[in-house]
Amino acid sequence: MPLIVQKFGGTSVADSQKILAAARKAVRAQQEGNRVVMVVSAMGKNTDVLVDLAHEITDSPPAREMDMLLSTGEQVSVALMAMAIESLGCKAISFTGAQIGIRTDSTHTKARIHSISTDRMRKALDGGKIVIAAGFQGTDEDQNITTLGRGGSDTTAVALAAVLGADACEIFTDVDGVYTTDPRALPEARRVRQVSYDEMLELASLGAGVMHSRSIEFAKKFSVPIHVRSSFSDQPGTIITDRPEAQGQAVSGATLVKNEARVTVLGVPDKPGTSLALFSKIAAQNISVDMIVQNVGAEARADISFTVPRDELVATMQAVEAAAAELGAEDFSRDENVSKISVVGLGMATQTGVAQKMFRALSEAGVNIQMITTSEIKISVLVGRDQATAALRAVHRAFELEKEPGSAGGAVTAEPARAANANDIVARLRGNMVARLQGMEDLTIDDIALDETQARVTITGVPDVPGLAAEVFERIAAGNIFVDMIVQSLGRAGHANLSFTVPQAHLDRALAVSRETSARLGCGPVTSAPKVAKLSVSGIGMRSHTDVAIRMFRALAAEGINVAMINTSEVRVNVVVDGAAGPKGLECLTKAFADALV
Ligand code: ADP
Ligand code: ASP
Ligand code: MG
């Protein structure tokens, strides 16, 4: 008999009527011949209310007690849901995380799942009951209650679907699917029919709050197809699977993170170990660093900029001050009024001109770009918070995200998207799933690679005004030059450095264009490296396991290899090092990640 997991978020169980409506959906699914597991969140804004209560008592509630408190929200919902189902004449049983055997590590308030035992759930299902599991919680080895981080019920649902080998995992929420951007921020956003795991991973971690990003790590690792849909209708929503909505689409979604802060450490020694010293101090505070940009050094000094969530700035600055003193940095600065705008799409990995289109749209909207980072399938820029929504709108419009792919603009005409066939995918992958279930949320590395085909160009002294990045990359794209990594950061005296990599064969052309553009726009000298080595570590959980970049820095520093550029995404961390250091770098990274390689 097919098994289905249905998850209902806070708004979907906000009052007794909504709980009854959700119960009816589960009962209907059972009557249609499915075994049903429900995962429910705390009612409405109950978790926020509990968080506020804790902060009325103290500024720094102990994390263990926070978990004890927050887990009660879900306990209320599961009990009420079980009563609702019984009242409809069906059998149901509610379980807390501990009762189902969701075993986690002990990182209170952001615990990771180690294992889930299915015996009790299976027994109840065999007895014809609808199983109702509390989302977002588990217990550690010593039976302490833990929670998985805000929004973590999605992760419970997908994890249960994975261990039970469910045929479908439905996420019922207050929107009718995944949109091209948050429909609350931009009404013109469009619901997508389908989105790939890799795109959804990036979108979720870059601000698309509709799914907890760790739930997508699970979905990808265990090939669980997800259906995100409305609690308040029966319309189909969005399928998250291993395929994108349309092949070849450069951009499939845009995101905004409003409350970011930028920190720049100026004039640090440009030598191996510098990034390690800085970022390991920050990681020790359990803060995850986001955009990291290192300016290629001048006079053996480099500037490192990065962003953190604004509410972690105070703790970050304590770590930065200590690191700056230790490293003999010249100065450091910060800006707490910045926001991050990103675009995501599988197609951009193979197309030229995507970055340029984004930068042009921002320039035309009068938005100044403070920082740029890219990865294979995303481009992120940092802008002033007062311009954030205008920036999002401009970018959304430039890529015509409000239109069905292929229906306008003419850019996308590839093979039609095929709706995922859940049974197909699950059957195909069940074989190798069993072996992977042990690790659950452990870091999985599937590739460590060296690319020795690229060269670097850096334009120094770029004036910090709107339109410059657009100008540079339009000229580059006009020369048919494929740009891979792009980083831009704010340096001294309001000037930025703009670095990018191109195929070695394109270096001369890229340099000619860059020198000409630099002279015309009043930038500083253009420098280059004819051969750089790009080292990549790919896998699942690259960013939620905050120590991946640190492990890379540590391994490279131990071999005396200096990191010139870095970019990170959910599925990959890339570093650019000196061309001659490639093979040695590959060897030491392979050793450093041996335990996580699958
Ligand atoms: P739940 O309580 O059901 O888990 P959430 O509030 O966590 O619901 O997620 C749903 C919300 O996510 C929507 O109301 C919407 O405003 C927001 N959201 C952000 N980005 C997106 C997006 N790209 N597509 C759809 N919804 C989004
Ligand atoms: N109730 C928790 C929260 O609000 C978990 C969830 O809803 O996913 O974050
Ligand atoms: Mg949610």
Rounded CA-CA distance 134/121 in Å is 13
Q: Is the pLDDT of residue 46 over 50?
A: yes
133 alpha carbon – ligand 2 mean position (Å) = 13
Q: Which two tokens stand for residue 125?
A: 């299902």
Q: What is the pLDDT of residue 420?
A: 37
Q: What is the pLDDT of residue 559?
A: 94
Ligand 1 proximal residues by C-beta, below 6 Å: 9-12, 41, 151, 173-175, 178-179, 181-184, 208-210
Rounded CA-CA distance 49/56 in Å is 11
In the chain, % of residues over pLDDT 90: 70
pLDDT digits (tens, 9 = 90+) for 474-507: 888 888 888 989 988 776 667 788 899 999 999 9
Q: What is the pLDDT of residue 145?
A: 98
Q: Would you kindly state where each structural domain of the chain is located, as residue ranges?
A: 3-247, 260-336+445-592
Q: What is the pLDDT of residue 383?
A: 95
Average pLDDT, stretch 148-166? Answer: 96
pLDDT digits (tens, 9 = 90+) for 81-129: 999 999 999 999 999 999 999 999 999 998 999 999 999 999 999 999 9
Which atom number of ligand 2 is nearest to the Cα of residue 73? 1
549 or 406, greater pLDDT: 549
408 or 230, greater pLDDT: 230
Q: Which two tokens stand for residue 264?
A: 């720049």
Pick the CATH number of 3-247 from 2.60.110.10, 3.40.30.10, 1.10.10.10, 3.40.1160.10: 3.40.1160.10
Q: Is the dihedral of CA 134, 140, 143, 145 positive or negative?
A: negative
89 alpha carbon – ligand 2 mean position (Å) = 29
Of 12-26, 34-48, 531-545, 571-585, minimum mean pLDDT range: 531-545
510 alpha carbon – ligand 3 mean position (Å) = 45
Provide CATH code, domain 260-336+445-592.
3.30.2130.10
Q: What is the pLDDT of residue 565?
A: 83
List the beta bridge partners of residue 262. Answer: 307, 335
Question: If residue 409 lies in a helix (H) or strand (E), which one and from where to where?
Answer: none
Average pLDDT, stretch 59-74? Answer: 96
Ligand nearest to the CA of 210: 1
pLDDT digits (tens, 9 = 90+) for 205-256: 999 999 999 999 999 999 999 999 999 999 999 999 999 999 889 999 999 9
Of 38-47, 78-87, 321-330, 426-435, minimum mean pLDDT range: 426-435
Q: Is the pLDDT of residue 139 over 50?
A: yes
Rounded CA-CA distance 327/517 in Å is 35
Q: Which of 127, 117, 124, 116 is nearest to 78 (CA)?
A: 124
> Chain-wide mean pLDDT for the chain?
90
Q: What is the pLDDT of residue 416?
A: 29
Rounded CA-CA distance 381/195 in Å is 23
Q: What is the 3-state secondary structure (H, E, C) of 119-145?
A: HHHHHHHHCCCEEEEECCEEECCCCCE
pLDDT digits (tens, 9 = 90+) for 526-557: 999 999 999 999 988 887 777 788 899 999 99
Q: What is the pLDDT of residue 428?
A: 42
Which atom number of ligand 2 is nearest to the Cα of residue 42? 1
